[in-house]
Every structure is written in structure tokens, then in C-alpha cells.
């Protein structure tokens, strides 16, 4: 299988607190022995705790011209600069 390379665009992904709607989930405390992987986070504003299967905030990559969709999150609409549209 030959190598393939393509340009990608990094997108920072955060999770807004379900409780207060103000802060974002930060301060990840991973449980390395869990399966599936569990990471406890706390809200930067109210301190509410929530568990995710990844550490947040995180960076995801999309191909240029492609939009980021996140399951189970709502799709994030990203407007590309004209120069990056293909
Ligand atoms: Zn909060």
C-alpha cells in the first residue's frame, strides 16, 4: 500500500458545560485502567463534573474544504476562507 499525503486543517474542540452553559470542561483526569477509556473533567466556571472518553479540549483534523462533524455532538459549521476552498 503506497503512502498518501494530504493537507489537513486542525480544529480545536471544546465541550461547554451542560450545567451552567458558561464554562468549558477542562482539567482532565484520565483513568488509565478503564475500558472504555474514561476521563473525568470539571467545569471551568461552576466545577460540575462529567466523564468523557477523551481528554478535552482536543484537536481534530479535517481535510481542507471538509466540515467537522462530531458524533454525538452537534455538527460544527465552519466557514472556510476563500483561499482554502477547493
Ligand atoms: Zn459549569
Domain range list for the chain: 8-84
Contact between residue 80 and residue 38 where contact means Cβ atoms under 8 Å apart = no
Region 13-17 average pLDDT: 94
Distance from Cα 76 to the centre of ligand 1, integer Å? 21
Distance from Cα 5 to the centre of ligand 1, integer Å? 40
Distance from Cα 21 to the centre of ligand 1, integer Å? 6
Q: Phi/psi of residue 67, each to 5°?
A: -95, 150
Distance from Cα 85 to the centre of ligand 1, integer Å? 36
The answer to whether residue 7 scores a pLDDT higher than 50 is yes
- Among 3-7, 11-15, 18-22, 75-79, which stretch is predicted with the lowest mean pLDDT? 75-79
Q: Report if pTM > 0.75.
A: no
Per-residue pLDDT tens digits for 37-74: 899 999 999 999 999 999 999 998 888 777 777 655 44
> Residue 6: its pLDDT value, please?
87
Amino acid at each position: 500500500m503506497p503512502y498518501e499525503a494530504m493537507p489537513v486543517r486542525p480544529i480545536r474542540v471544546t465541550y461547554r458545560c451542560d450545567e451552567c452553559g458558561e464554562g468549558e470542561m477542562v482539567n482532565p483526569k484520565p483513568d488509565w485502567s478503564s475500558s472504555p477509556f474514561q476521563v473525568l473533567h470539571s467545569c471551568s466556571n461552576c466545577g460540575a463534573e462529567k466523564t468523557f472518553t477523551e481528554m478535552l479540549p482536543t484537536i481534530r483534523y479535517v481535510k481542507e474544504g471538509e466540515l467537522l462533524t462530531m458524533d454525538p455532538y452537534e455538527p460544527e459549521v465552519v466557514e472556510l476562507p476563500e483561499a482554502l476552498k477547493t
